[in-house]
């Protein structure tokens, strides 16, 4: 089995999908000849030609709008938005068109399209290259929202997303592109070549949308996470000695309610961690779900550890980033509640 970075596994997913189905096309800003700003599409234009992998003008509304039209006519576009921060000009096309066409056409039309975008911070990208807008997508009925945390899942989830008949927002934590990151920015990063989840099959396989993964089994507290925060939570559990069960959601919609309820009812405690801003972040929805479905099993209030309600600060990156100390403090606090 090959060893891949997340960049390579994402590229492999598009390669596999394009090889299996001539209707799959890839486009976006600089994704063709240049191979994308993070090189996720490198070599695809050379292999499949400029009609199936091509550059688009600097217009996110145009990129997503064109993808909606293509998808409605049976093409399967997988488009790249250079950074998640740049998706907002195309938000109307996502919310008003892509998400609604199946409903308003009474199933006559579907929109099998994927919008890929690097998300999150931890790279000193500042306020315009570090945002985590996943809650905005999860709020919209009619689209699916996916956030992988490792190369194996990234490839399987992306192939599943491309093959899905509905629009999928595919957010890629760019801090994980080249290796897992536990939040200790002053330590060397372990490359994916030395991590078990860096082993990725070279051919076709899928990871089903809507199924969470238990990354660490535990009995004391359930930690609900996705993306980069999976590894921060693992580090916090190890450093505090709290026997935490870490649930990697993988997809925010559809959400694996069964996995969440089973774990929280077992542990009786829940901590939710995400990098996005706190107010109306996806953690608020998770907290409500846990309260509504597991209330009589809870031994303590649900705790959220999140980014702050401010633009992502370049100069204070690691104060904003929910690192292992903040997560560890939450684990200890929830365990102290009686």
**If you write DSSP's letter for every residue of 153-210 in order, what string do you get?**
HHHHHHHHHHHSSS-EEEEEEGGGSSS---S-TTSPPPPGGGSGGGEE-SS-----TT
Closest CA to 41 of 49, 32, 50: 32
Cα gap 111→96, rounded to integer Å: 12
Residue 315 buriedness (CB in 10 A; 0-12 / 13-18 / 19+): exposed
DSSP 190: P
Non-local CB neighbours of 268 within 8 Å, separated by 6+ positions: 297, 298, 299, 300
Per-residue DSSP letter, 43: T
What whole-number distance in Å separates Cα of residue 25 and Cα of residue 211? 27
211 three-class SS: coil
Provide φ and ψ at 67, rounded to 5°: -65, -40
- The CB density around residue 219, as the number of other CB atoms within 10 Å, is 11
Helix (H, G, I), strand (E, B) or coil at 87: coil
Q: Choose the catalytic residue: 129, 185, 297, 316.
A: 129
- Phi/psi at 63 (5° precision): -60, -50
Q: Provide the Cα torsion 294, 297, 303, 305; round to 10°.
A: -60
Tell how far CA 243 is from the center of its chain: 25
Find out whether 248 and 217 touch, Cβ atoms under 8 Å. Answer: no
**CA distances to 97, 194, 246, 325 from 208, in Å:** 25, 25, 19, 33
H or E stretch at 253: strand 251-253
Q: Is 129 one of the annotated active-site residues of the chain? A: yes
List the structure tokens of 202: 């070279």
Catalytic residues: 129
């Amino acid at each position: 089995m090959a060893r891949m970075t997340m960049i390579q596994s994402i590229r492999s997913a598009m390669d596999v999908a394009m090889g299996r189905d001539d209707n799959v096309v890839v486009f976006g800003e600089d994704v063709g000849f240049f191979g994308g700003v993070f090189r996720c599409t490198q070599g695809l234009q050379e292999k499949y030609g400029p009609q199936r992998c091509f550059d688009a003008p600097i217009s996110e509304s145009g990129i997503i709008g064109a993808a909606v039209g293509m998808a409605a006519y049976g093409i399967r576009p997988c488009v790249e938005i250079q950074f998640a921060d740049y998706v907002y000009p195309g938000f109307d096309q996502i919310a008003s068109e892509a998400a609604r066409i199946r409903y308003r056409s009474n199933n006559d039309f579907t929109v099998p399209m994927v919008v890929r975008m690097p998300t999150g911070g931890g790279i000193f990208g500042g306020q315009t290259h570090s945002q985590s807008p996943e809650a905005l997508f999860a709020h919209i009925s009619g689209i699916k929202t996916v956030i992988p945390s490792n190369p194996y899942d990234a490839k399987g989830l992306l192939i599943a997303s491309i093959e899905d008949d509905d629009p999928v927002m595919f957010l890629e934590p760019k801090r994980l592109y080249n290796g897992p990151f536990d939040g200790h920015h002053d330590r060397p990063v372990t490359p994916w070549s030395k991590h078990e989840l860096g082993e990725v099959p070279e051919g076709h396989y899928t990871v089903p949308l809507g199924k969470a993964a238990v990354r660490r089994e535990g009995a004391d507290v359930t930690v609900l996470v996705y993306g980069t925060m999976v590894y921060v939570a693992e580090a916090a559990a190890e450093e505090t000695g709290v026997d935490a069960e870490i649930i990697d959601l993988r997809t925010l919609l559809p959400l694996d309610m069964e996995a969440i309820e089973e774990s929280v009812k077992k542990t009786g405690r829940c901590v939710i961690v995400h990098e996005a801003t706190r107010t109306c972040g996806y953690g608020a929805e998770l907290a409500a779900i846990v309260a509504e479905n597991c209330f009589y099993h809870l031994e303590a209030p649900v705790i959220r550890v999140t980014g702050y309600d401010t633009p992502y600060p370049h100069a204070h990156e690691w104060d904003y980033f929910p690192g292992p100390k903040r997560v560890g403090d939450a684990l200890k606090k929830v365990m102290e509640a009686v």
